[in-house]
Amino acid sequence: MCKLTLEKFEEASEIVRQVTLETKLVYSEFFTQQTGNKIYLKPENMQYTGAYKVRGAYYKISTMTSEERAKGLVTASAGNHAQGVAYAAKIYGVKATIVMPTTTPLVKVNHTKAYGAEVVLYGDVYDEACEYAMKIAEESGATFVHPFNDLDVATGQGSIAMEIIKELPTVDYILVPIGGGGLATGVSTLAKMLNPKIKVIGVEPVGAACMKASLAEGHVVTLPTAKTIADGTAVKTPGDKLLPYIQENLDDIITVDDEELIVAFLDLMENHKMVAENSGLLTIAALKHMNVENKKIVSIISGGNMDVITMSSMVQHGLIARDRVFTVSVLLPDKPGQLVAVATKIAEMNANVIKLEHNQFFSINRNDLVELRITLEAFGTEHKKKIIEKLEQEGFRPRLVQLKGTLNG
């Protein structure tokens, strides 16, 4: 079995340069001010395929013999790995067959086909697609390229650490997302080889923390479920080939809630005009969990492949979470002029009305009270409090209404 060596990491770093875009570190003044540390972003969401996955796929193909390449590649994926393998195979001129679940969004299927791969739709979930892909590989003699549980793939992913340390030799911490563990294995192992003082912290979603559970037990653990909006890291079982390297080289694992990813999405988009998918946002959300000061921290943004519907929902949820959009219910006497009175007070507070719902059937006695629900845009939590206080002072008896978004976890 292949082992991770410095020689192979150096080789991989040179090879992947042939196919990757240069993703130089981005210094973040916003996150630096927020955390008290010097924060740098490694924007792998800017890669040609929208994620880091092409690194591991391309290096994996480079290690294959000409006979193996002639037989082609097979893999299973519903996302970034599919596109990474398809693109890498296209550059090498190798046939690639990608098995994707039948539930895969059409846009991802089309992108994968556009890179020249043959796409086979099979099964309702990844596990079924993966099982079928391995069957195809066995019958055809093609090489199966695992999304993470492959040391050659992990070596290719580790090229990210080489680039970070070359650009910022004095880095103190590197934050890396964890799904199955390929990226974390490559980055942490190479970082420790180059400078043992560098701390590498893995980040997992709370609902799919399979690596954290495996480290706690000392062996690979399979979670009963993997429920998170960070679909790229929704893995129930980490790679058994990777766990020994993670045990040796990863310094800690931080877990973050889905709600934190929503806020991180808004922060990154507003302050850096950058879109990251939910798995890529893990290391942004984790910055608030770092109990250190005046350290140089690099957050690896692993990918940016997010569809516009999800993007719209993330914005909506983020605005709600930041108290920049909220709904308040007020009760008014059912007589002319009351709506104008409320609107005037809201205008005085520099709040913007997004939507009004006027319910005359709130009370059986229509001559008594009607309910007015107002959805407002505010500057944030303090502004929201002042608006509510003003409505209370004017006798409108405001009551906050829980807003429900459209994001599915």
User: Strand, helix or coil at 40?
Assistant: strand
pLDDT at 317 (0 to 100): 86
**Residue the block writes with tokens 């516009």:** 308
Query: Please, where are the H alpha helices in 50-181?
Result: 54-62, 66-71, 80-92, 106-114, 126-140, 151-157, 159-167
**N-terminal to C-terminal alpha carbon distance within the chain:** 38
User: Strand, helix or coil at 93?
Assistant: coil
Active site residues: 53, 302
In the chain, domain spans: 6-51+151-318, 54-144, 323-401
Q: Which two tokens stand for residue 172?
A: 């103190």
pLDDT at 52 (0 to 100): 96
Whole-number Å distance between alpha carbons of 367 and 357: 18
Q: Which two tokens stand for residue 237?
A: 């079982």
pLDDT at 409 (0 to 100): 39
Which residues does residue 199 pair with via DSSP β-bridges, in sequence order?
Answer: 173
- Identical fold at 6-51+151-318 and 54-144? yes
Nearest to 100 by CA among 61, 137, 126, 118: 126
Whole-number Å distance between alpha carbons of 152 and 155: 5
Kindly report the CATH number that applies to the domain delimited by 54-144. Answer: 3.40.50.1100
* Domain 6-51+151-318 -> CATH class: alpha beta
pTM of the model: 0.86
Task: List per-residue pLDDT tens for the chain, 409 residues long.
Answer: 458 999 999 999 999 999 999 999 999 999 999 999 999 999 999 999 999 999 999 999 999 999 999 999 999 987 899 999 999 999 999 999 999 988 787 878 888 999 999 999 998 877 788 899 999 999 999 999 999 999 999 999 999 999 999 999 999 999 999 999 999 999 999 999 999 999 999 999 999 999 999 999 999 999 998 889 988 888 889 999 999 999 999 999 999 999 999 999 999 999 999 999 999 999 999 999 999 999 999 999 999 988 888 888 888 888 888 888 999 988 887 777 888 888 888 888 898 888 888 776 655 555 567 888 989 999 989 999 999 998 888 888 888 988 655 444 3
Beta strand 399-401 with 252-256 is unpaired
Whole-number Å distance between alpha carbons of 69 and 62: 9
DSSP string, 193-246: HH-TT-EEEEEEEGGG-HHHHHHHHTS----S----S-GGG--SS--TTTHHHH
* Domain 323-401 -> CATH class: alpha beta
**Residue the block writes with tokens 């709130």:** 362
Whole-number Å distance between alpha carbons of 82 and 116: 11
pLDDT at 205 (0 to 100): 95
pLDDT at 406 (0 to 100): 45
Cβ pair 76, 98 in contact under 8 A: yes
Rounded to 5 degrees, φ, ψ at 218 are 85, 5
